[in-house]
Chain A
Amino acid sequence: MSLSNYNPFSLTNRKLLLGPLNLENPITVQVLGICSALAVTAQMKPAIVMSVSVIAVTAISNFVISLLRNTIPPRIRIIVELVVIATLVILVDQILKAYVYDVSKQLSVFVGLIITNCIIMGRLEAFALANKPFPALLDGIGNGLGYGMVLITVSFFRELLGSGSVLGYKVIPEAFYDFGYRDNGFMILPPMALIIVGVIIWIQRSYVKSLVEKD
C-alpha cells in the first residue's frame, strides 16, 4: 500500500473505530474492564472523566507500541507494554490531580487501576503488536469509546435513579419527593452497575442475534 492512495477513512479503518462500539464492545461483548465499570459509575462526572482517561491511555499506548513493534524484543514485550501503559496512567493521574482535583478524588485508586484494565493489555497484544500505528491508534480510540459509552450509559441510569440528578444537576422535581418518591439507594452501590451492564448486554443481544451463542 503506497502512501499516496492511502485512505485514512477506508472501510477497514472505520470498522476499527466503530466496531468496538457495538459488535466488538469491550464491556458487553468481550466482557473486559468490568471492575472499573462497577466502581466509577455511581455518578456521571467521574464516569466521563474515567472514559476520557481510558480513551487517552488506550489510544496512545496502542500508537506507541505499534510504533515500537519491530524493535521490541519478544521476550520482554509484556514488560515494555506495561512500562508504556504505567507511564501514561501516571501522567493521566498527575494531570487530573492538577486540573480536575475534585473528580480525581472521586476516582481515587481507579485511575491507577487503569494499568490493570484488561482492555488495554488486550488491545496491545491482539492488535498493536501486529498493525501499523494509524490503524492501531484508531483501534485504541474505538475500544476506549466502546468502554466509555457503556460506562456513561450505566452512570446515567445510576445517577438518575440513585441520586435523582444528571451530571450533578437535580432533574427529578421536588414535587415528586413530596408525593413520597425516594431515590433508590441501592443504585449507588456497585451491584446495581452489574445488573445494569447485564441489562445492556441483554438488550444488545436481543437486537444483534449474531452475538447470541449457540449451546
Chain B
Amino acid sequence: MFSNKYIFIYSSVLVIIVAVLLALAATLLKPAQEINIKTEKMQQILQSAGIKSPTKETISIYHKYITNELIINIEGEILSDFAQGEFSKGNERAFDINLKEELRKLSGKTPTPKDVRLPLFVLINDQKDTVYVIPLIGKGLWGPVWGNIALKSDKNTIAGVRFGHKSETPGLGAEIETPMFQNQFLGKQIFDENGNFTSIKVVKGGVANSSINPIHGVDAISGGTITSKGVNNMLEVCLKNYESFLKTK
C-alpha cells in the first residue's frame, strides 16, 4: 500500500517535472510560433490586394510591396508613418496595433475618442497603382470573423477583399472565405456619388431583389445569415472609422 505521504510527494514531483518540461517547450518554440502568426498576418494583407505570397517568401514579398504602414486617428490625421524600415513620424508600426483593442475603445462612445489608433497599409501593386489596405475585425455566428479590404487609389473602389473566420459553419457561414463570395466585392464602391459613406451591404435575398444600388451591395450567403450580417456590420463599423481619411483626396 502507498502511504498518503508517498502520494503527496509523488504527485508534487510529477507536477514539477511536467511544469518544467512544458515551460521549456513553450519558451523554445515561441519564436517559431510568433513568426508563423506574423507571416500569416502579412499574407492576409497581401492577399487582399491580390498579391500571392508563398509562406516561405512572405516576409520579403511583404517588404517589397508595402510602402508605408500608417497609423491614423479618427479624424484622418497621420500619427505614425513607417516606411522601408524607418519611421518618418511617430514610433509605432501599424503592423503591431491590436485592432480589437482599438475598436473596443470606440464602441458606443460619443463623442468618439480621439486617441484611437487605426492601422492602414499602403502598397504599390504590380500595375504600379497605390492600394490602401484596411484591416477588419468583427463577430460571426460562432466566433470572430476578420479580414482585410483593399481600396484603389481613389480610396473608394474595392480592389479586393479577404475574409477569415475562426469557427463559422462549414458549407454555410464559412463560405465567406471562398472566392465566390469575395470576388463579388471587386469594383464595388464604399462612397456614393455625393461622397456619402455607404459601406458595402451584404444583402440577404440578393442585391438584385433589394432597393440597394448594386454598386454598394453584394449577395449574402444562403444559410449563413448571421455570418453575412456579421460581415456586413464588420465592414460598416471598421470602414466608418476611416471615413475622414478616405475622403481627403
> Which residues of A approach B to under 8 Å, CB–CB?
42, 71-76, 79-80, 83, 87, 90-91, 94-95, 97-99, 101-102, 108, 185, 188-189
Contact = CB atoms under 8 A, between A and B. Distances in A.
A97 B29 contact: yes
Contact of B11 (A79, A94, A97): A79
A122 to B, nearest CB: 22
Contacts, number: 55
Contacts of A95: 25, 29
Given A75-B7, A189-B171, A94 B25 contact: yes
Contacts of A72: 10
B36 interface: yes
Q: At the interface, is chain A mostly helix, strand, loop or mixed?
A: helix
A99 B14 contact: no
A76 B40 CA distance: 43
Interface of B: 2, 6-7, 10-11, 14-15, 18, 21-22, 25-26, 29, 32-33, 36-37, 39-40, 55, 166-167, 170-171
Given A42-B170, A98-B32, A189-B171, 11 more contacts: A74-B2, A76-B11, A79-B11, A80-B11, A80-B14, A90-B25, A94-B25, A94-B26, A94-B29, A101-B40, A185-B171
B214 to A, nearest CB: 27
10 contacts: A71-B10, A73-B2, A76-B7, A76-B11, A95-B29, A97-B29, A99-B32, A101-B33, A188-B171, A189-B170
A120 to B, nearest CB: 16
Nearest to B21: A87
